[in-house]
Amino acid sequence: MKDIFKTDLFLKIAVITGFAALLIIFFSSKGEGVRDIDENSKTENQLISMISMLCEDEETKVVVRTDKDGFTIIGVGIVTESAKDPVIKEKILELTSKILDVSPARICITI
């Protein structure tokens, strides 16, 4: 039995099988991931444009994470320099919470 594992034929079969399994995994998950990324990207860009009005057009980064269904928002991360000001930070929190209909506890705003 040990001699079978040492043959070139066994190694070729193992490599081809492993490569085929990786291809199947890659292509089976590609459809859902693309949809989620597109929808999140659209939502993130809309939030960035609204937040930039509050923050005087400074650079703002937004990340929205959704559940596997693509509709339930797990959390929102916002990075902006204006978060130094507590009043602006609170306005961003309220704006994001109302737009996405998500609890403020799921929103993280940082500098």
CATH number, span 2-110: 3.30.300.30
Answer for the pair 99, 47: CB distance below 8 angstroms, yes or no. yes
CA distances from 1 to 9, 14, 15 (A): 14, 16, 19
Answer for the pair 103, 97: CB distance below 8 angstroms, yes or no. yes
* C-alpha to C-alpha distance for 94 and 76, rounded to whole angstroms: 13
The residues, any chain, with a CB within 8 Å of residue 75's CB and separated by 6 or more, are 64, 65, 106, 107, 108
Model confidence pLDDT, tens digit, residues 11-20: 778 778 877 7
* Residue boundaries of the structural domains of the chain: 2-110
**CA-wise closest residue to 88 among 61, 111, 64:** 111
Predicted local distance difference test score (pLDDT) of residue 93: 93
How much is the pTM? 0.64
Model confidence pLDDT, tens digit, residues 33-90: 444 456 678 888 888 888 888 887 788 888 888 888 878 889 999 998 888 899 999 9
pLDDT confidence of 97, banded at 50, 70, 90?
Answer: very high
* C-alpha to C-alpha distance for 45 and 48, rounded to whole angstroms: 5
The amino acid occupying position 105 is: A
Answer for the pair 109, 91: CB distance below 8 angstroms, yes or no. no
